Structure 1
């Protein structure tokens, strides 16, 4: 399986729990952390181009894990991609598809409508993780995204925005949820 990890706003491939997760998943999978340009001043077209460049093909062995702004970027990419067969799945952490009151500068990522029917049908393995004390993405937005995708929603009481400063240099819950998935062979 090829797993792609997509970081969010103001992050990098080395940030938060991404490297830890890559190391854990590489024991049995090929793992790529997508390097998105100008994360401090992200541009939706540049991020989409980076996804197209770094994700060579999408098939039944493709699995995606995204965080925050990386979620909407991934969903837009998948929504616009030609997908011939169901993918292995995706896990979205602190995802959103509505304007964030504290980060209006990211609204340009929300201008295009997503094909939710397609995003729902391209896999049976959809998990969205949120936190009641997320101070960047209100948990209700993450929950609504999960609903639109018909995804399994996991809500933690405490987790913040799942950043290193919130104590997330590793993410055992995410790893555990990934390992619970029964993939079709």
Structure 2
């Protein structure tokens, strides 16, 4: 049975941004349940606590597991997957505005990016990989997100004027 998880970012919650819209859409169109994880203390995130949350809620992913992460949730997801000792096979992953470098505007998040990830292992272990980024993200420079996609051998999707993908805009 397919499992879909969403990992929010800094200062966010499961009811923010495009998360509720996405949950409703996937459930209505595909009858798949989506769990938006409530990450602990999103205003003062702690890397170890966030990683523990992913280990507790996701456990060992499989080819039936799909994970979408936004912003700080992306580096947390990559660190979690990299920490898995056994080989794993993740069905798919979408990273929205990912970063793996310190951000000038949020130096308090540096502990999340103070790591060397095995991108080759991650790329081999994840069947479908997508990186979505914007040309005008006010927090994450587009080249940082794009570079992660290249290192993961992901499909890249650049959204013009998408900002940091805070809100869902109905079209």
Q: Same fold (TM over 0.5)?
A: yes
> In the alignment, is the contact (CA less than 8 A) between 2:61 and 2:89 conserved in 1?
no
2:158 equivalent among 155, 160, 176: 155
2:106 equivalent among 103, 107, 118: 103
Match of 1:46 in 2: 49
**Are the structure 2 counterparts of residues 169 and 6 from structure 1 closer, same or farther at C-alpha, using a change threshold of 3 Å?**
farther
SS in 2 for 1:49: helix
> 2:94 matched to 1:91?
yes
Match of 1:120 in 2: 123
Q: What is the deviation of 1:85?
A: 4.5
Match of 1:11 in 2: 12
Cα RMSD (Å) of the superposition?
1.5
Q: What is the deviation of 1:118?
A: 1.1
SS in 1 for 2:50: helix
TM-score by length of 2: 0.93
**Are the structure 2 counterparts of residues 47 and 59 from structure 1 closer, same or farther at C-alpha, using a change threshold of 3 Å?**
same
> 2:3 matched to 1:2?
yes
Name stretches of at least 5 consecutive residues in structure 2 with no aligned partner: none
Q: What is the deviation of 1:102?
A: 1.0
| Structure 1 residue ranges (4+ consecutive) displaced by more than 3 angstroms after TM superposition | 82-85
Q: What is the deviation of 1:56?
A: 3.6
> In the alignment, is the contact (CA less than 8 A) between 1:90 and 1:125 conserved in 2?
yes
Name stretches of at least 5 consecutive residues in structure 1 with no aligned partner: 173-185
Moved more, 65-74 or 16-25: 16-25
